[in-house]
Structure formats: structure tokens, C-alpha cells
């Protein structure tokens, strides 16, 4: 009889826990949600995150607040979310860098991109455009490489941080050509643009949204696109593939992640609503105008995708060394 009572108590407690979790998922969300971004305000990643938050909030019936935590090549923000309560109220706007690159470049990384997060939905992707200041006497990639060889003291490139989508293509180009091009990382996108347009930084790979206005004004010159096909925004700019740089395709994807342990029902709800977000005409127009593209994948597809990207980046990152 005692054994039977113990079994009954276990079954009842398990049922109550299940009902409690189900009820919690049904009433979710009951408060504002924090969407953590690993770059500073006004960066390309931040802009995409804020557009997402503005569209997601009304669908959830609660505010979605962007929280910028730049630094550490994204590790500061990622670690913060990885250690947050797995209740659906702290989410991460993860990218190729934080979820697929950092582990291969940074020793003793403070988070595990595969174990510490649950993929919720992939939302966007974007390729990079190679730009130089208007005063630099080059108009093609070939001319740029020749100039870099002849001016080793000025041969440098800027980025938004080690391992980012603006760092990897330039570092890979340096390795591929054998030309030493010094990496200069920036935490402030505004200062980075100022130094590129003034010529203090020789070259920059960057998402099109962040440099389009400078290109339109003539302050920057576009030399090449890192996509497999030409950009719809810069159709006159050749791809790196067209310039005979084999397999030179680089870009970034952006998606939402939750801490491991988040209830599947909450993940499913967020994934479904984010699928509606990317269908909004105003958001689509805004994202496309900025040079990115809608690239939605629900949680069930995003999960294996992140794992495959993690493996794909092994070779690419092996060419640029590790962060000290």
C-alpha cells in the first residue's frame, strides 16, 4: 500500500507540474520581453533587431525591448542570455558570429552556442560589400590589392570586431593573397565610418545598409559584393567570384534564440509569431531597402541549420587564426 501511495503521489505531482507549465505557456507573455543584441545602437544588427522588436511586440501584446550589450565579439551579450532565466522573457538576437564563428576563434569562450541556446527562428540574411574611401586611388579589387602591396604602412581594414562578418572576409582575403592587412576593430560604428571615409582605414567589408548613404553621397566607393549573385541595390558592383576569387562568398544570418530549458510551447509560439513578422509588407520593404533579405526558418528548421553552420565555419575560421 505504501508503494502504491508513493507512485500515486509521484504521478499526481508530475501531472500538476505539467499542468502548471502548460498554463504558464498559455498566459505567456505576461510582461515585457528583452531582446538582447550584441552590437551597439545604430549598427546594422541593432537596426534589424529593433525592426523585429517593433513588429513582434503588437503580436505578443507586450513590449519587446532591445537591450544592447556590445563587446567581447558578441560573447558579453551571448553569455548574459545563456545565464538568464529560461522563461521566454530574455531572448537573444544571435548571428553567424555568435552562434557559428566564435567557438572556433576564441579560446575559453564563456558560452556554448549549441548547448546554451534553443534556436527559435532564423529571420534575415545579408552579404557584405567591399568599400574604400573616395580619396583612395583605386576602383577595382585588383587595383586595391596592388595599392596595399605598395603601401604596407597603410594596409589595414576596419571591422566591428574580431570574428564578425566584417572581419572574416578581409582576414580571409589577406590570407588568400598573402598580403598583410592589419585588422583594426571598432566598437563604435560611427567612428568606423568616419575613419573609412577619411582614408585612415583603407578598406572595409560591411552590410550594405550601413554604407549605402555614404556610397550614394560619393564618400565611399563600392568595389565588390560577397554574394553568389550581384546585389539588387548595387547591380553595377561585381561579385568577388566574378573577380576570380574562388569560393569567396561571405554573409551573415540573423535569428532569435532562447536560453536552453525554455518551454517548447513558448519557443513554438515565438517561432510562429516571428513567421508572421517577416511577412509584414512594411518590414519587408525596409529590410530589402537596407540590402538584407528575408530568410525565415522556423525552430524545427533553424535548429539543424545552426549546427550545420557551426561546422561549415570551421574551415573558414581556420584561415584567420584565433583571438588572443
Least-confidence region, from 186-190, 238-242, 295-299, 305-309: 186-190
Q: Reply yes or no on whether the pLDDT at 90 is more than 60.
A: yes
Residue 237, pLDDT > 60, answer yes
Q: What is the pLDDT of residues 267-292, one digit of tens each?
A: 999 999 999 999 999 999 989 887 88
Cβ-based neighbours of 64, under 8 Å, separated by 6 or more:
32, 33, 34, 35, 52, 53, 54, 56, 57
CATH superfamily placement of domain 129-225 = Periplasmic binding protein-like II (3.40.190.10)
Q: How confident is the model at residue 17 (pLDDT cuts 50, 70, 90)?
A: very low
Q: What's the whole-number average pLDDT of the chain?
A: 91
Helix (H) or strand (E) holding 193: helix 189-198
Asked whether the domain spanning 129-225 has the same topology as the one spanning 32-126+252-318, the reply is: yes
> What confidence score (pLDDT) does residue 188 get?
87
CB 161 within 8 A of CB 185: yes
Residue spans of the domains in the chain: they are: 32-126+252-318, 129-225
Q: How many angstroms separate the CA atoms of 11 and 21, rounded?
A: 15
- pLDDT of residue 19 exceeding 50, the answer is no
Whether residue 170 is predicted with pLDDT greater than 80 in this model: the reply is yes
Q: Which residues contact 123 (CB under 8 A, 6 or more apart)?
A: 48, 52, 254, 255, 256, 274, 277, 278, 294, 295, 296
HSE, side-chain direction, 13 A CA sphere, residue 279: 7
Residue 2 has pLDDT above 60, yes or no: no
Asked which of 18-32, 153-167, 294-308 is least confident by mean pLDDT, the reply is 18-32
Instruction: Tell me what the mean pLDDT of segment 215-219 comes to.
Output: 97
Classified as helix, coil or strand, 223 is: strand
Q: What pLDDT was estimated at residue 255?
A: 98
Q: Residues 252-261: pLDDT tens digits?
A: 999 999 999 9
Q: Check: CATH 3.40.190.150 for 32-126+252-318?
A: yes
Q: Are 226 and 127 in contact (CB under 8 A)?
A: yes
Does residue 20 carry a pLDDT above 60? Answer: no
Kindly report, residue by residue over 111-128, the tens digit of the pLDDT: 999 999 999 999 999 999
Q: Distance between CA atoms of 151 and 163, rounded to whole angstroms?
A: 25
Mean pLDDT along residues 219-234: 93
Banded model confidence at residue 184, pLDDT cuts 50, 70, 90: very high
Q: How far apart are CA 121 and CA 118, in angstroms?
A: 9
| Grid coordinates belonging to 150 | 605598395
Its pTM stands at: 0.76
Beta bridge partners of 119: 257
Over pLDDT 90: what percentage of the chain? 74
**pLDDT bucket at 5, cuts 50 / 70 / 90:** low
Q: Bridge partners of 206?
A: 129
pLDDT more than 70, % of the chain: 91
Quote the CA–CA distance of 29 and 168 in Å, as a whole number: 38
- Our separate counts of H helices and E strands in the chain read 12, 11
Split at pLDDT 50, 70, 90, the class of 324 is low
Mean pLDDT of 162-189: 92
Summarize pLDDT for 30-58 with one digit per residue, the tens. 999 999 999 999 888 899 999 999 999 99
Residue 319, pLDDT > 70, answer: yes
User: Which parts of the chain fold into alpha helices (H)?
Assistant: 2-27, 44-60, 75-82, 96, 102-105, 141-150, 168-177, 189-198, 208-217, 264-277, 281-289, 299-318
pLDDT at position 289 is 82
**pLDDT category, 15, cuts 50, 70, 90?**
low
Inter-residue contact 215 to 131 (CB < 8 Å):
yes
Amino acid at each position: 500500500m505504501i508503494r502504491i501511495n508513493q507512485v500515486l503521489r509521484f504521478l499526481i505531482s508530475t501531472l500538476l507540474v505539467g499542468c502548471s507549465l502548460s498554463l504558464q505557456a498559455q498566459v505567456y507573455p505576461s510582461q515585457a520581453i528583452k531582446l538582447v543584441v550584441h552590437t551597439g545602437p545604430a549598427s546594422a544588427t541593432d537596426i534589424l533587431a529593433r525592426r523585429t522588436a517593433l513588429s513582434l511586440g503588437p503580436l505578443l501584446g507586450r513590449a519587446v525591448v532591445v537591450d544592447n550589450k556590445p563587446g567581447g565579439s558578441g560573447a558579453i551579450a551571448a553569455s548574459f542570455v545563456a545565464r538568464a532565466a529560461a522563461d521566454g522573457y530574455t531572448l537573444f538576437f544571435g548571428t553567424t558570429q555568435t552562434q557559428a564563428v566564435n567557438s572556433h576563434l576564441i579560446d575559453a569562450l564563456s558560452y556554448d552556442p549549441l548547448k546554451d541556446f534553443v534556436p527559435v527562428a532564423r529571420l534575415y540574411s545579408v552579404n557584405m560589400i567591399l568599400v574604400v574611401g573616395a580619396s583612395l586611388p583605386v576602383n577595382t579589387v585588383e587595383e586595391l590589392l596592388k595599392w596595399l602591396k605598395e603601401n604596407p604602412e597603410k594596409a589595414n581594414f576596419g571591422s566591428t570586431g574580431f570574428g564578425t562578418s566584417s572581419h572574416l572576409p578581409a582576414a580571409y582575403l589577406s590570407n588568400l593573397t598573402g598580403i598583410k592587412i592589419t585588422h583594426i576593430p571598432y566598437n563604435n560604428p560611427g567612428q568606423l565610418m568616419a575613419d573609412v571615409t577619411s582614408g585612415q582605414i583603407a578598406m572595409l567589408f560591411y552590410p550594405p545598409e550601413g554604407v549605402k548613404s555614404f556610397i550614394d553621397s560619393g564618400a565611399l566607393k563600392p568595389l565588390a559584393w560577397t554574394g553568389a549573385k550581384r546585389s539588387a541595390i548595387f547591380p553595377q558592383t561585381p561579385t568577388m567570384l566574378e573577380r576570380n576569387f574562388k569560393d569567396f562568398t561571405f554573409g551573415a544570418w540573423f535569428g532569435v534564440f532562447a536560453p536552453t530549458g525554455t518551454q517548447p510551447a513558448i519557443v513554438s509560439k515565438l517561432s510562429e509569431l516571428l513567421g508572421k513578422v517577416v511577412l509584414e509588407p512594411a518590414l519587408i520593404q525596409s529590410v530589402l531597402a537596407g540590402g538584407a533579405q528575408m530568410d525565415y526558418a522556423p525552430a524545427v528548421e533553424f535548429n539543424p541549420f545552426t549546427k550545420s553552420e557551426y561546422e561549415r565555419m570551421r574551415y573558414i575560421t581556420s584561415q584567420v587564426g584565433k583571438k588572443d
